[in-house]
């Protein structure tokens, strides 16, 4: 039986990445993650991520460009988590489905109170932000 694919976006702006603070479920509330969500039937992963970022952050689909994969897949309870690098072309993200959002530098990444699954991408994010300039 295929697992549910869940996509996450590492939205990069200059040398920072956007992280979002969860509201639910209770065991994850207050912890931080890369925003994203489930891929619906018939949807590509990139289209699903653009849709999720629009829903969760108030960004228009044209405000973001979904790029290459970030790191490896993370297996979690019948789901496969997959992250993509995302470039913010326009607009300003704001929390719609989260308690808060904030921009984090490479030096701050290891101090973020991540949801456990997203912690697997921290080293990849550090490398990505260390080479980011725009």
Domains of the chain: 4-132 (3.90.79.10)
- The more confident residue out of 61 and 115 is 115
Exposed, middle or buried, 26 (CB in 10 Å: 0-12/13-18/19+)? exposed
Q: How far is CA 133 from CA 42, 86, 104, 126, in A?
A: 35, 14, 14, 13
> Would you say residue 118 has pLDDT above 70?
yes
Sign of CA dihedral 28, 120, 56, 101: positive
For 47, which DSSP code? H
- Tens of pLDDT along 58-107? 998 889 999 999 999 999 989 999 999 999 999 999 999 999 999 999 99
What value does the mean pLDDT of the chain take?
94
* CB contact at 8 A, 36 and 4: no
The pTM assigned to this predicted structure is 0.94
């Amino acid at each position: 039986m295929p697992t549910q694919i869940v996509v996450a976006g590492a939205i990069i702006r200059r040398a920072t990445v956007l992280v979002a603070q969860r509201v639910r479920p209770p065991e994850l509330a207050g912890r931080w993650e890369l925003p994203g969500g489930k891929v619906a039937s018939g949807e590509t992963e990139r289209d699903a991520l653009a849709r999720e970022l629009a829903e969760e952050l108030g960004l228009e689909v044209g405000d973001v460009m979904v790029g290459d994969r970030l790191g490896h897949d993370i297996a979690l309870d019948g789901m496969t988590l997959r992250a993509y690098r995302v470039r913010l072309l326009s607009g300003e993200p704001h929390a719609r489905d989260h308690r808060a959002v904030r921009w984090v530098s490479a030096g701050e990444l290891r101090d973020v109170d991540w949801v456990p699954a997203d912690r697997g991408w921290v080293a990849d994010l550090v490398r990505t932000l260390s080479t980011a300039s725009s």
